[in-house]
């Protein structure tokens, strides 16, 4: 099967490309490299022995994107491309709506024109908004997210629901994943943010190698066991495996399907700091800051549906993820 992966040089995209290649899929990557580097392709090739076909194209550029569809023939798409920082989306909402909705509508129009009938969409746990209870189940209401980034995910889910209702031959999987952490065990690939990290793990690893003085923890007065935010942290390799399992599901023509991809367990920020110190032996100094706008107190998944229908379950724990993330950071102190 030949698969288009948009955003395939990013953190989750590149790990998924590796798993696709290992499972004998042919991969074509489209990425504008706004939050990733072309050197990722060299590292994918080093790990797998295969260099995926690559187009430096912005999915928002309809004509350039259409050119890729004219050259290549796809049987499925995994759609990662998009802006993804919660805090930045609060400051730049228009840019987030234009980019994330524009790129997705272009993709769906091209899929329709060229007869591509399967899409796996990189959604997010943010679609659940402020949870009334945890863990979260796939049939919990999706009403409104707490930030513009999350709202783009809510809107794209609705677009895909409508598209599947209109075209009974279209198969779409909405993968609501929680907080990806870790890195490829080789240390060749991992989370490589531009500037100050928005996510917890790369911030911790940059403190661990002395690149930053201390970790800033956003809030310690949430209604959680230690007052810090609780999230479901999933190893990125587990997440990548989940995408391969989902592609196999779409071959059965299920129409629209929704899955949570997480570990099913919540971990607080302070628990993560302690786990990192235990896994690596490195002390992480931190300060407590004001809570960030758009953050929720606790967010973790029930993943029974993915286990039952996809045969997928997270294998790695937070200690594995801490070790692998630190290994990547040590080998790539200035990123890829």
Q: What is the pLDDT of residues 200-251, one digit of tens each?
A: 999 999 999 999 999 999 999 999 999 999 999 999 999 999 999 999 999 9
**278 has a pLDDT exceeding 80:** yes
89 belongs to a structural domain = yes
Let me know if residue 312 belongs to a domain. Answer: no
Residue 215 pLDDT: 98
| Mean pLDDT across 62-85 | 97
Confidence (pTM) = 0.97
Q: How many CA atoms lie within 13 A of 106 on its CB side?
A: 23
Which of 25, 55, 128, 149 is flagged as catalytic? 149
> What is the three-class DSSP state of 3?
strand
Peptide linkage before 10 cis (omega within 30 of 0)? no
The Cα–Cα gap between 304 and 55 comes to 37
Q: What is the pLDDT of residues 103-149, one digit of tens each?
A: 999 999 999 999 999 999 999 999 999 988 999 999 999 989 989 99
Asked about 300 being catalytic, the answer comes back as no
pLDDT for 194: 86
- Residues of the chain with pLDDT > 70, as a percent, come to 100
Res. 258: pLDDT tops 90: yes
Mean pLDDT of 192-196: 89
* 202 contact partners, CB below 8 Å, separation of at least 6: 191, 192, 193, 325, 329
pLDDT at residue 256, as a whole number: 98
Of 216, 235, 197, 238, whose CA–CA distance to 35 is shortest? Answer: 197
Q: Give the CATH number, domain containing residue 251.
A: 3.40.50.720
Six token digits for residue 74: 């796809």
- Does 217 map to a domain? no
Q: Is the dihedral of CA 245, 69, 83, 207 positive or negative?
A: positive
What pLDDT does 295 receive?
83
Q: Is the Cβ–Cβ distance between 229 and 269 less than 8 Å?
A: yes
pLDDT at 296 over 90: no
User: How many C-beta neighbours within 10 Å does residue 180 have?
Assistant: 22
Does residue 283 lie in a domain region?
A: no
Instruction: Give a yes or no: residue 331 inside a domain.
Output: no
48 located within any domain: yes
Q: Would you say residue 294 has pLDDT above 80?
A: no
Total domains in the chain come to 1
Domain extent for 64: 2-182+234-262
Question: What's the mean pLDDT in 39-57?
Answer: 98
Residue 78 belongs to a domain: yes
The pLDDT of residue 87 is 83
Give residues with Cβ within 8 angstroms of 13, minimum separation 6. Answer: 5, 6, 7, 29, 31, 36, 78, 80
pLDDT of residue 94: 98
Q: Which two tokens stand for residue 186?
A: 């080789």
Mean pLDDT of the chain: 97
Annotate 263-330 with three-state secondary structure. CCCCEEHHHHHHHHHHHHCCCCCEEEECCCCCCCCEECECCHHHHHHHCCCCCCCHHHHHHHHHHHHH
Looking at residues 11-22, what average pLDDT do you find?
A: 98
Q: Is residue 90 part of a domain?
A: yes
- Give the C-alpha separation, 148 to 153, whole Å: 9
Name the nearest CA neighbour of 178 among 144, 127, 219, 227.
Answer: 127
Is 293 a residue whose pLDDT tops 90?
A: no
pLDDT for res 260: 98
């Amino acid at each position: 099967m030949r698969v288009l992966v948009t955003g395939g040089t990013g953190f989750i995209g590149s790990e998924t490309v590796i798993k696709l290649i290992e499972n004998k899929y042919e991969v074509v990557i489209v990425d504008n490299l706004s939050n990733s580097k072309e050197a990722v392709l060299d590292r994918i090739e080093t790990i797998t022995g295969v260099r995926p076909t690559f187009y430096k194209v912005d999915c928002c550029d309809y004509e350039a994107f259409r050119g890729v569809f004219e050259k290549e023939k796809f049987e499925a798409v995994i759609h990662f491309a998009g802006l993804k920082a919660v805090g930045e989306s609060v400051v730049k909402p228009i840019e987030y709506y234009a980019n994330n909705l524009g790129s997705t509508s272009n993709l769906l129009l091209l899929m329709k024109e060229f007869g591509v009938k399967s899409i796996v969409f990189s959604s997010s746990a943010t679609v659940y908004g402020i949870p009334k209870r945890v863990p979260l189940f796939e049939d919990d209401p999706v009403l409104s997210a707490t930030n513009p980034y999350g709202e783009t995910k809510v809107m794209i889910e609705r677009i895909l629901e409508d598209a599947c209702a209109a075209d009974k031959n279209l198969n779409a999987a909405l993968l609501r994943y929680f907080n990806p952490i870790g890195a490829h065990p080789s240390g060749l690939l991992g989370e490589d943010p531009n500037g100050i990290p928005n996510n917890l793990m790369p911030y911790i690893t940059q403190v661990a190698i002395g690149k930053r003085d201390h970790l800033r923890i956003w809030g310690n007065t949430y209604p959680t066991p230690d007052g810090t935010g609780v999230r479901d942290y999933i190893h990125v390799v587990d997440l990548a495996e989940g995408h391969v399992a989902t592609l196999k599901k779409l071959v059965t023509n299920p129409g629209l399907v929704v899955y949570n991809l997480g570990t099913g367990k919540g971990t607080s920020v302070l628990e993560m700091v302690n786990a990192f110190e235990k896994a690596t032996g490195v002390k992480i100094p931190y300060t407590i800051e004001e809570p960030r706008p758009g953050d929720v107190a606790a967010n973790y998944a029930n993943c029974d549906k993915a286990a039952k229908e996809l045969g997928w379950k997270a294998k790695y724990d937070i200690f594995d993820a801490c070790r692998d993330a630190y290994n990547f950071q040590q080998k790539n102190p200035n990123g890829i």
